[in-house]
Amino acid sequence: MNLSHVTAVLRREMQEIVKSRGLLLAIFLPPFFITLIPLIAVAILGRVLESESGGDAGDFAQIVQLMPELRTWSVGEVAMFVILQQFLTFFLMMPLIISLSIAAQSIVGEKQNKSLEPLLATPIKTGELLFAKGLAAMLPAVLATWAAFIIFIVVGRFLIASERVFFALLDPKWLIAMLVLAPLLSLLSVNIAVVLSARVNDTRAVQQIGGFVVLPIVLLGVAQTTGFILLNALTFVIGAILIGVIDLLILQLGVRLFQREKILTQWK
C-alpha cells in the first residue's frame, strides 16, 4: 500500500468534509442530541432521586434479578441507572450514523457530481482508495463519539446525585464499547455504504437503506431496559468479535463490487 496515495486522498476527503455544511451537520448534530437528551434526563431524575431516597426497586424486578447488587438501591437510583444504561447504548449509534453519511457522500455523492472519475483514472489502487475514503469517514465519526462520551461522563459527574449510579457508568464494559466496538461499528457502516454504492445512485437511498443497521442497537437498548438481556463486558467482547468478522466479509464483498472500470464507463 502506497501511504502517499492514501494520505493524498485522505487530505482531499477531509477538505471536502470541511467545505460541506451537510456533512458538518451530520458530524455534530447526532453527538449533540444524543449527549444533551440524557443529560437533561439526569438533571430531572436527580430530583426524583432525592424524593425516592427510601423504598425499594420492586418496579424493576427483572433488572434487579439480573443484577442482584441493585437490591440495596432506592427506586430513584435504579430508575436513573436503567435510563442511563439505555442512553449509553445510543452512543453506539453515533459511529454508524456519522460514518454512513460521510461515506455515502464520499462515494455516491462524488459519483453524482462527476468528481470520482478523475480520481479513479489515477494510478491509485482500489484498496488504497477505499481505505482512504473509509478512514476519512471513520475518523470524524469515532472522534465525535469519544468526545460526546467524555462530555457526558464529565458533565454527568456534576448532575448525577448518586455516587454509586455515577461510578456504575464507569464500568469497563463501556470502555470496551467505546474503544473497540464503536470503531468496528463505524467500519461496518462504511463497508455497507461501499456495497450499496455499487448498486445505488443516490446518497439519500444509501442512507435510508443503510440506516437499518441502526435498528439492532435500538433493539439492544430496549432489550436491556426491559431486563430481557444484561449487557456486560463479555457481551461487548463477543459483539466486537462478531462485528469484526462481519466487517471483513462485507469489506471483501465491497472490494469485489467496486469495479473502477465499470464505474468509469457506466456510472453516468
**In the predicted model, is pLDDT for residue 170 greater than 80?**
yes
**pLDDT score for 267:** 52
Instruction: Return the percentage of the chain with pLDDT > 70, whole number.
Output: 79
| Phi, psi torsion values for 80, nearest 5 degrees | -65, -45
**In the predicted model, is pLDDT for residue 123 greater than 60?**
yes
**pLDDT score for 147:** 92
User: Which has the higher per-residue pLDDT, 242 or 231?
Assistant: 242
Decide if 229 contacts 89 (C-beta within 8 A): no
Extract the C-alpha cell encoding 187: 467500519
Average pLDDT on 13-21 reads 82
Average pLDDT on 72-98 reads 81
The separation between CA 221 and the C-alpha centre of its own chain, rounded to angstroms, equals 13
d(C-alpha 156, C-alpha 35), whole Å:
10
Cβ-based burial of 129 (10 A; exposed 0-12, middle 13-18, buried ≥19): buried
**In the predicted model, is pLDDT for residue 43 greater than 80?**
no
Average model confidence (pLDDT) across the chain: 78
User: Which has the higher per-residue pLDDT, 53 or 110?
Assistant: 110
Q: How many helices (H) and strands (E) does the chain have?
A: 15, 0
**pLDDT score for 113:** 66
Average pLDDT on 154-179 reads 84
Average pLDDT on 191-218 reads 75
Nearest residue to 63 (alpha-carbon basis) of 52, 53, 75: 75
**In the predicted model, is pLDDT for residue 168 greater than 90?**
no
> 198: helix, coil or strand?
coil
User: Which has the higher per-residue pLDDT, 26 or 113?
Assistant: 26
Confidence of residue 183 (pLDDT cuts 50, 70, 90): very high
Average pLDDT on 100-113 reads 75
pTM of the model: 0.83
d(C-alpha 64, C-alpha 170), whole Å:
19
